[in-house]
Amino acid sequence: MAAQSDPQGSEFSAAELEFLAEDEMIEIVPNMRMESLNLISGDFGPFHPQISTQVPLWLAMALKKRGKCTIRPPEWMLVEKLMQVLEAERDSQKSFQPLPFHYVEISRLLFDHARDDIPDIYMVRSLIEDIKDVRFYKIGTGLEVISQRTTALKLNHLTAMEVNIVRPFLVKALQTFNKLDNPEIHKS
């Protein structure tokens, strides 16, 4: 964690989260032939042209940069699915929709490197932005209700980036409430 040297920093940096997100599996369609790769994290391949395989995202990015594959976008990244998720997010006031844990990072990586592999990329991009904004707004309203009686906070289906952003603020707020609450016990 790059912020360890700073005692107040208790979160990952965004780039570190992106690095962690690259371990997620994604489907690619190679356009070359290669025998299987035996890596520490697993065995991938063998790669045959036009036959899709599951590889980690970092490997997919590397192959894509060398022009050796095309990436198939994951199922949650289709326009209809995202529209459903957006509708559901807007309808429910308190709960979040289940989304892949690293959807922000994965979508950004794919937009940067695999632009031509995603159909309707502008639509997808704006939908993901909207989903992100709605979720952040919901987090804000959820955080407003904590008071001195709150011992723990539960937010379902929160994704990695959102958790990372909220973490320092939330921890400090809960600490302060706890500190102000202690004299109450001695009061009576």
Partner 1 sequence: MSQYYDIDDILADDELVPAVFQVAANGVGLFDSSDEMNKVEQGSKVELPFWLARELHLRQAVSINLPPCFNQKTRDELVADAAHVDLKNRCPYFYELGCKLFSLVGDKTIALLLLAAFQTRYKEVLIKAQTAAMTVAPKFLTLLTKEETKLYEAAQSSMSAFKKWRMGGPRFQRASVLGRKRRPSD
Binding site for partner 1 (CB under 8 A): 8, 11, 13-15, 18, 108, 112, 136, 140, 143-144, 147-148, 161, 164-169, 172-173, 176-177, 179-184, 186-187
- State the residue for tokens 């006031």: 93
Residue 81 Cβ vs partner 1, minimum distance, rounded to whole Å = 22
Beta carbon nearer to partner 1, 30 or 61: 61
Residue 96 Cβ vs partner 1, minimum distance, rounded to whole Å = 17
Beta carbon nearer to partner 1, 13 or 41: 13
Mapped onto helix, strand or coil, the DSSP state of residue 184 is: helix
Distances (CA, A) of 40 to 21, 47, 61: 18, 18, 18
Written as one string, the DSSP assignment of 2-56 is GGGGSTT--S--HHHHHHHHTTSEEEEEESS-B--EEETTEEE--B-TT--EEEE
Beta carbon nearer to partner 1, 33 or 169: 169
Residue 169 Cβ vs partner 1, minimum distance, rounded to whole Å = 4
Rounded to an integer, what distance in angstroms lies between the CA atom of residue 136 and that of residue 37? 40
Beta carbon nearer to partner 1, 67 or 183: 183
Residue 152 Cβ vs partner 1, minimum distance, rounded to whole Å = 17
Beta carbon nearer to partner 1, 54 or 151: 151
> For the chain, what is the total number of helices (H) and then of strands (E)?
6, 5
186: which residues sit within 8 A by CB, 6+ positions away?
Answer: none
Residue 84 Cβ vs partner 1, minimum distance, rounded to whole Å = 24
